[in-house]
Amino acid sequence: MKLGRPIMLFVALILCCGNLTGQNSQSQVSLQANKLGQTLFFINRLYLDTANLENIADKALVAIMKELDPHSSYISKKDIQAMNEPLQGNFDGIGVEFALINDTLTINSTIPGGPSEKVGIRAGDKIIAVDGEVISGTGLTNERVHKYLRGPKGTKVTVSVVRRGVQEPLEFVITRDKIPLNSIDSYYVTGDDIVYLRLTRFAATSYREMLDALSELRVVPKGIILDFRGNPGGYLLAAIQIANEFLDKGQLIVYTEGRSVKRMDEFANGSGILKNIPVAVLIDENSASASEIVSGAIQDWDRGVIIGRRSFGKGLVQQQIPLQDGSALRLTVARYHTPSGRVIQSPYEEGKKDEYYAKLLERFNRGENFNRDSIHFADSLVFKTLKEGRTVYGGGGIMPDIFIPQDTTHYTPFYGEILRKGLLTDYMNDYSDKHRGQILKKYPTFKQFEQKFEVSQEDIDGFLAYCASKGVEPKEGDMEISGNEIRKYFKGLIIRSVYSFNNFIQFINSDDPEVLRAIEELELQQP
């Protein structure tokens, strides 16, 4: 009996990998490949029932990759597009931001110039049917919405829309198109001509987005804040391009080195337009990979100030290797080093991924997010910056120059529960939808709303009644501790829904300690 196609692919791929190794290890690779291939062959030939060989092979590859470092992985054929999409910087769809309110797809905003805006879809519209299929009140999920609205560029979708003030549903035919996934989701100028840029990931488009944002703001910045908090990384090229903007010609940005990968150095080429502008970088425990490359380069060359908390410590280089059936390996091939020689990667043991992430959680339990003195480095991990000779540390992550502890003074079990269950977001989506018209009439601009709108006690009572209807109520003293934070986000979520996400971040940053400290540091560097 002939081998089935999944088995042939599986064996061929493993044998191909054997050809890439040295002569001494090739026989060992071939032996183990034959073992796996024979196992699949006999399952296909002799097993009692029909087996899903593709599923078996997928699970086998997942298990194999788990025996390596924490960041190597196998990506199945069905998952490959979803994983690449955020880094490629676009997807095909209708171009809306939405919320699921009372099991109904409600439009929060349309992407400027996108397909939905072109046909007249508005914020506040409710999509109740797609291509004649009623979707409202059917247990909608984000995944189902994506299935309905995304599709190949040029394809059409018909949506039925309920609009406030219009009696009958409206029907729109939308032609799907490329929709940008912006990696810089917020940028603005402070009153001191300091530019704030928030990067959520390093995508193929990130460098161009940064230049476009600076051009759109039409200001010669007196300083730049790069906010990498929560940024998990992405493309190495994007990190190099962005770091290059701030460094002088010939300065090393990063180098990589691995067992089978020779050392590769990346240098600044001197073309950066921001070389003489003061810069502050914000990082936290969730800043990783490309975020740490840029932060490390700026810190090592004494080019700017790093503010926040110790970063994640992901300094392993993955190469995505396509397999013949459309799946892929994301295989670690090298380590990142900062210009001073620091290894960014946190320590790990192969095959112990759970322990690796548990150790990262231990940082929080040890109080690292709250007290700089809780972080200890061995003498062997001490390095010096390349211009001023300041002490910096290796051994996992980037330690900031200025430590800002995590603020939990507003936290109560009640506050944690309303966040975990999404109660504040759900309530505010509905609130904003109902009051959108009167809010815009009274406060036509974000600035007017920010300066004049106050969250009333009636607003808070309405929210607490909603929470109670969901079985969540504050205990005595909870609102005294968490009340101000709830009011801030109550107002902020209105801004996000009625005005823009960019305005929301600008409002939230108005009392953010890291942002305020960055502004203070940059002002000190003014002539």
Active site residues: 289, 300, 314
Q: How far apart are CA 428 and CA 454, in angstroms?
A: 15
Q: 3-state SS of 216-274?
A: HHCCCCCEEEEECCCCCCECHHHHHHHHHCCCCCCCEEEEEECCCCCCEEEECCCCCCC
CA distance 395 to 382: 9
CA-to-CA separations, 469 to 348, 459, 463, 491, in angstroms, rounded:
46, 16, 10, 22
Name the amino acid, one letter, at 125. D
| Burial (CB count within 10 angstroms: exposed 0-12, middle 13-18, buried 19+), residue 135 | buried
- CA angle, 271 then 219 then 206, to 5°: 50
DSSP letter for each residue of 151-219: --TT-EEEEEEE-TT-SSPEEEEEE-EEEE--SEEEEEE-TTSEEEEEES-B-TTHHHHHHHHHHHHT-
| φ and ψ of 289, to 5 deg | 55, -115
Q: State the pairing for strand pair 391-393/279-283.
A: unpaired
With a CB cutoff of 8 Å and minimum separation 6, the contacts of 2 are none
What does the alpha-carbon distance between residue 38 and residue 273 come to, in Å, rounded to a whole number?
A: 59
Strands 126-130 and 184-189: unpaired
For 111, the token pair is: 């992407």
First to last CA, the chain: 81
Q: What angle do CA 479, 480, 481 make, to 5 degrees?
A: 90
The CA angle 288-289-292, to the nearest 5 degrees, is 75
**C-beta of residue 229 within 8 angstroms of C-beta of residue 295:** no
Query: 40-76 burial, b if ≥16 CB within 10 A, otherwise e?
Result: bbeebeeeeeeeebbebbbeebeeebbeebbbbbbbb
